[in-house]
């Protein structure tokens, strides 16, 4: 019986992610050397891609366009913030420089330098792909039923899974 992508299946797939406007390739799972493995319904990949993969069969390829609201969200101007320059000591600053910082709770946050002077550094905390419509070229490699353990833990286990 042909399996299809549906809730509580574990899907292995390759993708090429492109910026819809420019057509530029942003990333490819083939460059990483292994496919993405996820359990449908567990929230492991962006929602707009997951819902548009429902019904695909093993071996099928599809071009899927995902609007920002179903990918990394729209750009939030409140996430562009100024910080005192002394927070960035020993950092050779340049516009476009990606940085990471730890919150007091130990969470890692990513940001990009958008401007700086002698007193302040302006950083953008939006996800780099926020506000962009994304095009995924997807190839489904395999589909299987999730195990009871995977369903219980809400993610795929085993080779190639992110956990």
CATH 3.10.50.40 residue window(s) in the chain:
9-72+130-153
- pLDDT band, very low/low/confident/very high, at 72 (cuts 50, 70, 90): very high
Determine the pLDDT at residue 115. Answer: 96
Q: CA distances (Å), 154 to each of 58, 132, 148, in order? A: 22, 28, 10
C-alpha angle 40-73-33 in degrees, rounded to nearest 5: 50
What does the pLDDT read at residue 157?
Answer: 76
Average predicted confidence (pLDDT) for the chain: 91
Domain with CATH 2.40.10.330 in the chain: 77-124
pLDDT band at 163 (very low <50, low <70, confident <90, very high): very low
Question: Is domain 9-72+130-153 annotated with CATH 3.40.50.300?
Answer: no
- Percent of the chain beyond pLDDT 70? 95
Q: pTM to 2 decimals?
A: 0.80
CATH number for the domain formed by residue range(s) 77-124:
2.40.10.330
pLDDT band of residue 65 (cuts 50, 70, 90) is very high
pLDDT tier at 103 (50, 70, 90 boundaries)? confident
What would the two tokens of residue 68 be?
């920002």
First to last CA, the chain: 28
Evaluated on CA atoms 60, 61, 65, 66, the torsion sign reads: positive
**pLDDT over 70 at 46, yes or no:** yes
Place of tokens 């179903």: 70
Q: Measured between alpha carbons, how far is 162 from 142 in angstroms, rounded to an integer?
A: 16
Would you say residue 88 has pLDDT above 70?
A: yes
Both tokens of residue 154? Answer: 């809400």
Residue 110 phi, psi dihedral angles, 5° rounding: -105, 150
């Amino acid at each position: 019986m042909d399996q299809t992508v549906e809730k509580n299946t574990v899907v292995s797939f390759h993708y090429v992610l492109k910026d819809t406007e420019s057509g530029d390739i942003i990333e490819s799972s083939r460059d990483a050397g292994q496919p993405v493995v996820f359990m449908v319904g567990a929230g492991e990949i962006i929602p707009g891609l997951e819902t548009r993969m429902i019904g695909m069969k093993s071996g099928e390829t599809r071009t899927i366009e995902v609007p920002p609201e179903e990918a990394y969200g729209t750009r939030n101007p409140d996430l562009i913030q100024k910080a005192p320059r002394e927070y960035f000591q020993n950092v050779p600053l340049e516009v476009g420089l990606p940085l990471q910082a730890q919150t007091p709770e130990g969470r890692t946050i990513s940001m990009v330098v958008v401007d700086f002077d002698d007193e302040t550094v302006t950083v953008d905390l939006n996800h780099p792909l926020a506000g962009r419509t994304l095009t995924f070229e997807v190839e489904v490699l395999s589909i299987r039923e999730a195990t009871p353990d995977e369903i219980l833990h809400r993610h795929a286990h085993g080779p190639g899974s992110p956990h």
